[in-house]
Amino acid sequence: MVSQPDTGSSALEAPTFGGRMPAGSGDMAIETHGIKPIPEDNRYGTPRRLFTVWFAPQLTMTGVFTGSLAIVFGLGFWLGLLAMVIGTVLGSLPVAYLSTWGPRTGTGQLPASRMAFGGMVVLPAVVQWLSSIAWDGLVGLFGGEALAALLHTPFWVGVVIVLALQGIVGIFGYELIHRVEAVMTVVLIVTFAVLTIKLLSGHQVVTAPAVHHADLAGAFVLEVTVALSLAISWASYASDYSRYLPASTPRSRSSGTASAASCSATSASRRSASPAPRRWAPRPPRASAA
């Protein structure tokens, strides 16, 4: 029986998918390299770089909103915190594991998924493409609104600025992404520290559950699911940020760093949420006319 060639893997080796790659840390030239695997002699860096590249994207207002839902659902502080930690840890496990495939294969997550999906990789690719567009839309929406409020510019100008900056970082590629996330980690830690201090100084932080029995169990499961969905949504990008690491990189270090960054950042941002928003309650039925 003649073995058939792996068309999925051979397709990635096509010259059209190659290009210029960063030669090392600090090489900020535009990366034109595509989905072709990174050759071993072009690998560099250590797993420590993964911490900031996963920490900064998680320490955002999205996490704050997710944290506020725990109170909205009626869980109170401690049960809400427990639900968020459980969901975040479970959601971070696939991200941590898939981060190890960057050093092993030298490819991004979607190209590497050819090993599992073969030619049918087009299906998860379309889903990923649509979700990325939706995420970019939300970044432009909220980022544009924030810039409009801070700089007193029209909303559309703020949206253009945010999307342009995001596009520029993507064009320069891998090395600039890592450098930007390293800087943003410091900026966001300071920002959220100030936010947390302001919340602690003027609000009641520890609140008791507002629901009980079956409602409490349902709210707990729902919050775990919400936290898990946010953390696991990064799994389809996992090896993109580790594909330049040497193949000899220990799997435990790359997965552990990614998991620790994701869990610590998401937990911190969600606990910075408004401590006591009004809990959702169904609208009472309208009284019938006499």
Residue 47: pLDDT over 50 = yes
Global pTM reads 0.81
**Separate counts of helices (H) and strands (E) for the chain:** 12, 0
* Cβ density class 54-69: b for 16+ within 10 Å, e for less: bbbbbbbebbbbbbbb
Distance CA 96, CA 188 (A): 22
Distance CA 113, CA 236 (A): 9
> In this predicted structure, which of 21-25, 216-220, 223-227, 259-263 has the lowest mean pLDDT?
259-263
Q: Which amino acid is at 212?
A: H
Cβ of 225: how many Cβ atoms within 10 Å? Answer: 14
In the chain, what are the domain boundaries? 45-271
Residue 175: pLDDT over 90 = yes
pLDDT number for residue 259: 81
Distance CA 178, CA 169 (A): 10
At 278, is the pLDDT very low, low, confident or very high (cuts 50, 70, 90)? very low
**pLDDT, tens only, 7-46:** 455 556 666 677 889 988 889 989 998 888 999 999 999 9
Pick from 116, 72, 68, 52: nearest CA to 230: 68
Give the sign of the dihedral formed by CA 220, CA 255, CA 132, CA 118.
negative
Report the chain's C-alpha Rg in angstroms: 22
Q: What share of the chain is helix, strand, coil (3-state, %, to 5)?
A: 70, 0, 30
Beta strands in the chain (DSSP E): none
Cα 248 to the center of its chain, rounded Å: 26
Residue 277: pLDDT over 80 = no
CATH 1.10.3720.10 is the classification of domain 45-271: no
Query: Token digits for 150?
Result: 């801070």
Residue 59: pLDDT over 70 = yes
Asked if 263 contacts 96 with a C-beta cutoff of 8 angstroms, the reply is: no
Q: What is the mean pLDDT of the chain?
A: 83
**pLDDT, tens only, 60-97:** 877 788 888 888 999 988 999 899 889 988 999 999 99
pLDDT number for residue 203: 72
pLDDT number for residue 263: 76
Residue 267: pLDDT over 80 = no
Most confident option among 32-41, 130-139, 275-284: 32-41
Pick from 160, 158, 154: nearest CA to 144: 158
Mean pLDDT of 139-151: 88
Asked if 231 contacts 266 with a C-beta cutoff of 8 angstroms, the reply is: yes
At 164, is the pLDDT very low, low, confident or very high (cuts 50, 70, 90)? very high
**Local structure of residue 119 (DSSP, 8 states):** G
Distance CA 243, CA 178 (A): 12
Distance CA 181, CA 46 (A): 15
pLDDT number for residue 135: 83
Residue 31, C-beta contacts closer than 8 angstroms, at least 6 positions apart: 19, 20, 21, 22, 172, 173, 174, 175
pLDDT number for residue 131: 87
